[in-house]
Chain A
Amino acid sequence: MAIPSSGTPSPSPRILVLGIGNILWADEGLGVRAVEAFHKAYEVPDNVTILDGGTQGLYLVQLVNEHDRLIVFDAIDYGLEPGTMKVVEDDEVPKFTGAKKMSLHQTGFQEVLSAADLMGQYPERLTLIGCQPLDLEDWGGPLTAPVKAAIPAAVETAVRVLRDWGVAITVRPEGAVVPPLLENDIDYEHYERRAEPAR
C-alpha cells in the first residue's frame, strides 16, 4: 500500500488517532486494540490525540470536528483473508465505508464523517487502517490469531502516516510507565487472559 506524501503540513495540525469497535465481540475489538497498542508503544506530541472511540458512533463527531486530520483503526469486511490489512485514504474512505458490508461501523462512522462534512468540519486528511476479521460472532471472545498478528503492522502503518504528515513521534523507552488507555480489567492483556474462546 502506498502512502502518498502529504505536501507541506500546516503548523501543528490537530490529529486524532482513533480506534473504533466493540472489545466484547472478538475481532470487532481490533480497532480499539490497535489504538491501545499504538499508545503503549509510542509517545506523541501534544497536537495528537489518541482515542478509544468504542462504539460511540455519531457521538464522536465533535472529536472529528476538533481535529484537522484523522487516522482510524477498524475491523473491515473486505472479503479478504482474515488478518489482511487494507489502508484507504482521503476521498476513498467514505466510498469504502459506504460499500456494502465494509466497515462494521459503517453506518456509525459514515454518519460521523457526513455530519462533520455538513458542519463544515470534514478532516483535511483521512486514513482508514482496516483489517479483515475472522470471527465477529464470538461474544466475549478474544481476538483471533490472524487478527492479533496484524496489530503490529497496523500500528506501524499509523506511525508511517504520522511521520509522513511531519509528526515527530517517538518510541517509548523500554520499561516506561505508560498511563493505560483502557483500565479496570478491560485492557488487552487482562481481557484476553480470562476471555473464554468460542464454545
Chain B
Amino acid sequence: MAIQTPNGFTLDNSGKRIVVDPVTRVEGHMRVEVNVDENNIIRNAVSTGTMWRGIEVILKNRDPRDAWAFTERICGVCTGTHALTSVRAVENALGITIPDNANSIRNLMQLALQVHDHVVHFYHLHALDWVDVVSALSADPKATSALAQSISDWPLSSPGYFKDIQTRLKKFVESGQLGPFKNGYWGNASYKLPPEANLMAVAHYLEALDFQKEIVKIHTIFGGKNPHPNWLVGGVPCPINIDATGAVGAINMERLNMVTAIIDQIIEFNDKVYVPDIMAIGSFYKDWLYGGGLSGKNVLAYGDVPQRANDYSEASLRLPRGAIINGNLAEVHPVDHADPEQIQEFVTHSWYKYPDESKGLHPWDGVTEPLYELGPNAKGTKTNIGQLDEGAKYSWIKAPRWRGHAMEVGPLARWVVGYAQNKAEFKDPVDKVLKDLGLPVAALFSTLGRTATRALESSWAGHEMRHFQNKLIANIKSGDSSTAHVDRWKPETWPKEVKGVGFTEAPRGALAHWIKIKDGKIDNYQCVVPTTWNGSPRDPEGNIGAFEASLMDTPMSDPTQPLEILRTIHSFDPCLACSTHVMSPDGQEMAKVQVR
C-alpha cells in the first residue's frame, strides 16, 4: 500500500524487503531496510542508527571548561569539531570572548579537519563505491598515464609509476587478502569506470593515505598533540612567541612556516588530484543521478569559519548559513539556534520517551530517556531484529526538525545555500563543474552532487586556510600575540545560572551543542550532530529523513549486492560505522560485507 509523505515521497513497503546490517550499539552502527518493486527499484526506505545519545549523563555536574575533552571522544572522526563546538557553547553561555589570533588558529584547525576528513572520506571510505579495484588489475599502465596526464599536471603520472602500483595491487590481491579492498562488490554492473580510471584512482588512494598525515600536523602544531588535540575555553592553548627558537609548545616563525608549507601542499593536492579525480569519475557516472533525496527540497546550514573573532553572524561566517524549504532557492531563511520554535527533536519513531510525543523539544529542554520497544509488525526479537516496524519506534536517533521540516545537512547543503545566496565562491565552482560535465543545475541534487561538492569544499577550505594563515601572521607581526582571554576563567565570575549554544559546520554537516550551566557546573548538555539530521527516522507527521529520502526510487543492479545503497549513504559521510548484511525476506543471509 502506497503512502504519500508530507515532504513529497511515495512510500510502498509491499515489495521485497532488503535488510542491510543488524543493529548493534557498538561504536554506533547503522542499518538500512528497503523495499524494492518487481524491477528492483527502491520504493520504501527505513534507516536506523544506534548512536546512543546520553552525553548529558556523562557531563552532568562536571566543569563546563572540561566539556570539550569529553565531547572530543564522542566520535572517532569528528573529534576536533566537537571540541570546538563545545568551547563555543560555553563561551556563548558565559559571555567569554576570544582574541583574534585564537579565531584564526581555530579556523585553521577546523579547516584542516575539514580537508583531512573530506580527503580520507572520499579516497578511503567512499571511492570504492565508484571504483572497481579488481578491474584496475587489467588496466594498461601506459593508457592510465595518458589519462592521468590529460586531466592534471600532477607529477606522479608516468607509465612506470602506474605499473608499480598495479604490481603492488596484484601482489596484494594474489596473497588472498584484499586488505582494505576486501568485501567489495567487484564486477557489479553499477561500476562504470574503465580499468585505467580505476587504476588511477587506486594510485591516488595510496597517495591520499600517505598525504593525510601531513594535514594533521597542523593539529599537532596548534593543538599540542594529535590525536585528541587540546582546546581551551577563551581561546587556544598554544602561546605565541614569534622570536623563540625551539620553545616547547609555543608557536614561533619556524612552526608557522611549517603550517604555510602544509597549506600549499593541501591546495596542490586538492586542485591537482582530488578535484580532477571527481571530474573524471563524474564524467563516467553523469547518467547515475540518483540519491538526491531532500537536497533539492530542504537543506540546512549553520555556517562556520568566522572572519571576525566573536562575530557568529551570517555576515561574518565564511561558510554559508541559512535554511531552504521546498526547493525554493529564491528564499534563504535565517536560522536561530536559541529560538525554541525552530530546532526541535521528536521521538515518536525513536527509542526514547517524552511526556507528549506529538510535540518536539528544543535542545535546551531536551531529555534523553530510553524506551526500547519494537512495533507490532517488527520481526525477530529485541536482541536480534529481523525486520523493523517503521510504523512504530525504530531508531536510537532522534528526529530533529527545523520548523517541522526534515532537513539535509552537509557539504551539499552548505553549497546549495551558498549557491542560492549567489556567493561567487560557491556558485562559480558549481557552475563550472556542471558545465564541464554538461549537466543542468538539477543534477547537483544527487549522490554525485554530494560527493562533488565535498571535493569543491576541500579545495575551498585549502584556500581559506591560506587566508587565515596570512591573517594570523599579519596580526602577530603587528605586535598582537594574545591567544586567550582568561578574565572570566574562574567560576566565581560566572552568573549563577546561564545557558548557551555553540555551533560549527562539521565535515559531515551542521553540528550544535546546547549547554545549561548552574552554580558553575553543567546542568544539561545536548548535542544534535549532523548524522542525527541526516539519519533521522520519521517524525509525527510522517516526514522521512535525509538518508531515507535519498534512497527512494533508486534502481538496484542486483538486490543481493546493495552497492547503490552504500554509495548513496556513504555520500553523506555518516559518522557511523556501516557494516552490512543482506538478508532475504525469509531471514536467510544472502550476502555479507563490511564497508566501514
Q: Answer yes or no: are A and B bound together in one complex.
A: yes
Interface residues of A (CB under 8 A from B): 22-24, 28, 52-62, 65, 94, 104-105, 107-108, 111, 114-115, 117-120, 136-137, 139-140, 182-186, 194-196
Residues 1-41 (chain B) with a chain A CB within 8 angstroms: 25-27
Residues of B within 8 A of A24 (CB): 58, 70, 73-74
Closest B residue to A104 by beta carbon equals: B26
Q: CB distance B227 to A185 under 8 Å?
A: no
- From B62, B206, B594, give the contact of A118 (CB < 8 A): B206
Q: CB distance B76 to A56 under 8 Å?
A: yes
Closest A residue to B52 by beta carbon equals: A139
4 more A-B residue pairs beyond the given contacts A52-B228, A104-B26, A108-B76, with a C-beta to C-beta distance below 8 A: A136-B26, A186-B69, A194-B62, A196-B57
Q: CB distance A55 to B27 under 8 Å?
A: yes
Q: CB distance A54 to B596 under 8 Å?
A: no
Residues of B within 8 A of A120 (CB): 168
Q: CB distance B73 to A185 under 8 Å?
A: no
Residues of A within 8 A of B79 (CB): 54, 56
Residues 155-207 (chain B) with a chain A CB within 8 angstroms: 168, 172, 177, 179-180, 206
How far apart are the CA atoms of A94 and B180 in the complex, in Å? 12
How far apart are the CA atoms of A196 and B577 in the complex, in Å? 26
Output the least CB separation between A55 and chain B (Å).
Answer: 3
**Given A52-B228, A114-B180, A186-B70, residue A119 in contact with residue B61 (CB < 8 A):** no
Q: Which of B25, B76, B210, B594 has the most CB of A within 10 A?
A: B76
Q: CB distance B180 to A107 under 8 Å?
A: no
Q: CB distance B216 to A59 under 8 Å?
A: yes
Q: CB distance A107 to B596 under 8 Å?
A: yes
12 A-B contacts, Cβ less than 8 Å apart? A22-B76, A24-B73, A53-B227, A55-B75, A58-B120, A58-B124, A59-B212, A62-B213, A108-B76, A137-B25, A140-B58, A183-B69
Q: CB distance A186 to B63 under 8 Å?
A: no
Output the least CB separation between A183 and chain B (Å).
Answer: 7
How far apart are the CA atoms of A107 and B73 in the complex, in Å? 18
How far apart are the CA atoms of A139 and B527 in the complex, in Å? 15
Closest A residue to B76 by beta carbon equals: A55
Q: CB distance A185 to B212 under 8 Å?
A: no
Output the least CB separation between A24 and chain B (Å).
Answer: 5
Interface residues of B (CB under 8 A from A): 25-27, 52, 54-55, 57-58, 61-63, 65-66, 68-70, 73-77, 79, 120, 124, 168, 172, 177, 179-180, 206, 209-210, 212-213, 216, 227-228, 230, 577, 579, 594, 596
Q: CB distance B58 to A107 under 8 Å?
A: no
How far apart are the CA atoms of A65 and B213 in the complex, in Å? 10
Q: CB distance B206 to A59 under 8 Å?
A: no
Residues of A within 8 A of B177 (CB): 94, 114
Q: CB distance B52 to A119 under 8 Å?
A: no
Closest B residue to A55 by beta carbon equals: B76
How far apart are the CA atoms of A47 and B55 in the complex, in Å? 38
**Given A23-B73, A54-B227, A59-B227, residue A139 in contact with residue B58 (CB < 8 A):** yes
How far apart are the CA atoms of A108 and B76 in the complex, in Å? 10
Output the least CB separation between A109 and chain B (Å).
Answer: 11
Closest B residue to A187 by beta carbon equals: B69
Output the least CB separation between B463 and chain A (Å).
Answer: 24
Residues of A within 8 A of B168 (CB): 118, 120
The 10 A-B pairs with the shortest beta carbon distances in the complex, nearest first, are A114-B179, A55-B76, A62-B213, A184-B69, A140-B58, A185-B66, A184-B66, A140-B57, A56-B227, A139-B54
Residues of B within 8 A of A58 (CB): 120, 124
- From B68, B120, B180, B594, give the contact of A59 (CB < 8 A): B120
How far apart are the CA atoms of A182 and B72 in the complex, in Å? 12
Output the least CB separation between B291 and chain A (Å).
Answer: 24
How far apart are the CA atoms of A119 and B177 in the complex, in Å? 14
Residues of B within 8 A of A62 (CB): 212-213, 216
How far apart are the CA atoms of A180 and B193 in the complex, in Å? 50
Residues of B within 8 A of A194 (CB): 61-62
Output the least CB separation between B589 and chain A (Å).
Answer: 12
How far apart are the CA atoms of A54 and B227 in the complex, in Å? 8
Closest A residue to B71 by beta carbon equals: A24
Output the least CB separation between A14 and chain B (Å).
Answer: 15
How far apart are the CA atoms of A115 and B168 in the complex, in Å? 12
Residues of A within 8 A of B206 (CB): 118-119
Residues of A within 8 A of B74 (CB): 24
Residues of A within 8 A of B27 (CB): 22, 55, 104-105
How far apart are the CA atoms of A114 and B175 in the complex, in Å? 12
Q: CB distance A22 to B73 under 8 Å?
A: yes
How far apart are the CA atoms of A57 and B26 in the complex, in Å? 14
Q: CB distance B66 to A57 under 8 Å?
A: no
Q: CB distance A57 to B76 under 8 Å?
A: yes
Residues of A within 8 A of B55 (CB): 140
Residues of A within 8 A of B594 (CB): 107
Output the least CB separation between B131 and chain A (Å).
Answer: 15
Q: CB distance B66 to A186 under 8 Å?
A: yes
Residues of B within 8 A of A139 (CB): 52, 54, 57-58
- From A22, A52, A55, A117, give the contact of B179 (CB < 8 A): A117
Output the least CB separation between A82 and chain B (Å).
Answer: 16
Q: CB distance A115 to B180 under 8 Å?
A: yes
Closest B residue to A184 by beta carbon equals: B69
Residues of A within 8 A of B77 (CB): 57, 59
Output the least CB separation between A136 and chain B (Å).
Answer: 6
How far apart are the CA atoms of A19 and B249 in the complex, in Å? 24
Residues of A within 8 A of B124 (CB): 58, 115
Closest B residue to A199 by beta carbon equals: B57
How far apart are the CA atoms of A150 and B340 in the complex, in Å? 48
Q: CB distance A54 to B76 under 8 Å?
A: yes
Output the least CB separation between B353 and chain A (Å).
Answer: 13
Residues of A within 8 A of B230 (CB): 183
